[in-house]
Amino acid sequence: MAFALLFSFFHYRRLVQKWDDLRAFLAYFAAVFCLFLVIPILIIFLFSPDALLFLKEAGLSLGNWRRGLGIAAVGAPLAVLSGLIGSRDAELGRFYPFSKTACRSPRSFIAFEAAYLLLYYVAWEFLYRGILFFPMIPAIGLIPALALQTIISTLHHAGHPQSEIFASLAGGFVFGLVAYFTGSFIYTIFLHALTGISTDTFIYYRNYRTNSRG
């Protein structure tokens, strides 16, 4: 139901037909946050006999924080490097940042990226590396669970640049393994968001910063 609503009524392509791209994408982020995080949590609290335990077992905890911090420390430079490499792709440079209106000033760009992190990436990882991953491991095994969340999250990128679709296929397995070995999707939020926001920032710096100063 969440996917049906997101890809119909709340899809950003539909929203940009009604509003400017800044308002449209903020509304899209809010829809992702509600459909992928808020509503599932409400359902869990309504129907799970032990909602807090379920959420913890689905990765909503610090998990093995020493291992998580180590992976985050090693992965952070790689995430920034991926953002730099991705920003040099012409197709990605045209597609990102989502809102070109937000690039009119540094303040609006920073505010937009903060919303991107808090509304979009948090909900994304909760769903794909949490709810659609950890509970599936005991049921079908690690590799099938990895494949399942990777396939679905990659399909979510339909319509995005081809290079990003291939990157999301690899990223699904990598972030899934990070979540598995740390017992938490908190660290994948950090690494995934750092990659995406770095990409936006490098593109913004190269293509928009001069214009925004003017």
Tell me, yes or no, whether 40 lies in a domain.
no
Tell me, yes or no, whether 9 lies in a domain.
no
| Confidence category of residue 149, pLDDT binned at 50, 70, 90 | very high
Tell me, yes or no, whether 20 lies in a domain.
no
Q: Which residues of 72-98 are buried (b: 16+ CB within 10 A; e: fewer)?
A: beebeeebbebbeebbebeebbebbbb
Which of 42-51, 131-140, 173-182, 200-209 shows the lowest per-residue confidence on average (mean pLDDT)? Answer: 200-209
Q: Would you say residue 207 has pLDDT above 90?
A: no
Domain that holds residue 143: 57-213
Tell me, yes or no, whether 23 lies in a domain.
no
Q: Look-up: residue for tokens 């296929």?
A: 169
Q: Which helix (H) or strand (E) holds 138?
A: helix 137-140
Tell me, yes or no, whether 12 lies in a domain.
no
Q: Would you say residue 119 has pLDDT above 50?
A: yes
Prior bond of 97 cis (ω within 30°): yes
| Residue 193, pLDDT score | 98
- Segment 173-194, tens digit of pLDDT: 999 999 999 999 999 999 999 9
| Residue 214, pLDDT score | 47
Domain count, the chain: 1
- Segment 66-115, tens digit of pLDDT: 999 999 999 999 999 999 999 999 999 999 999 999 999 999 999 999 99
The 3-class secondary structure across 32-72, one letter per residue, is HHHHHHHHHHHHHHHHCCCHHHHHHHCCCCCCCHHHHHHHH
| Confidence category of residue 212, pLDDT binned at 50, 70, 90 | low
Tell me, yes or no, whether 2 lies in a domain.
no
Tell me, yes or no, whether 114 lies in a domain.
yes
* Integer Cα distance of 60 and 184 in angstroms: 6
Tell me, yes or no, whether 83 lies in a domain.
yes
- Segment 17-72, tens digit of pLDDT: 999 999 999 999 999 999 999 999 999 999 999 999 999 999 999 999 999 999 99
DSSP 134: G
